[in-house]
Amino acid sequence: SCEFLSFTQGQQALAQVLSDWPENYLCDSPSHVRGQRVQDTRLSLTECHRVAVVSVVCCALFLLLLLTGALCHHFHGLWYMKMMWAWLQAKRKPRKAPRRDVCYDAFVSYSEQDSYWVENLMVQELEHFQPPFKLCLHKRD
């Protein structure tokens, strides 16, 4: 382990307990240093502190996901993804509604400021025209 490879007071204590420390001891793991003498082995920082590295990477990924979620929420990303999906579906293969399912000739979209003109003049003219138009109005239909 990394604690054995660093030359500190722990090394001196091991030399008192283990005979011929560290000259006659070989590494067993990690596998790429198996068989090397302990005193000749140098492990990288990521190998020595694997838990810390994994923790930092996981925290960074979590923060990235959190930031992405916040940005998607702020800029209505879910709505844009749904609309993109609907557009792709419509672009790929448009659905044709059977004629019997179509009840109206047109849907009339208008602001509340124009409601008097739309409801009392335009709708009356178009629905009493020959042939009459079937109009869909959000207030009525």
Per-residue pLDDT band at 24 (split at 50, 70, 90):
confident
Domain ranges of the chain: 1-58, 106-137
pLDDT in tens, 103-124: 888 999 999 899 999 999 999 9
Residue whose tokens read 């590295």: 53
Report whether 45 contacts 51 (CB < 8 A).
no
Q: Which amino acid is at 34?
A: R
Asked whether residue 5 carries a pLDDT value surpassing 60, the answer given is no
Instruction: Tell me the C-alpha distance between 132 and 129, whole Å.
Output: 5
Torsion of CA 32, 27, 58, 64, to 10 degrees: -50
Q: What percent of the chain has pLDDT over 90?
A: 33
Per residue in 48-65, pLDDT tens?
Answer: 788 888 999 999 999 999
H or E segment and range at residue 62: helix 50-74
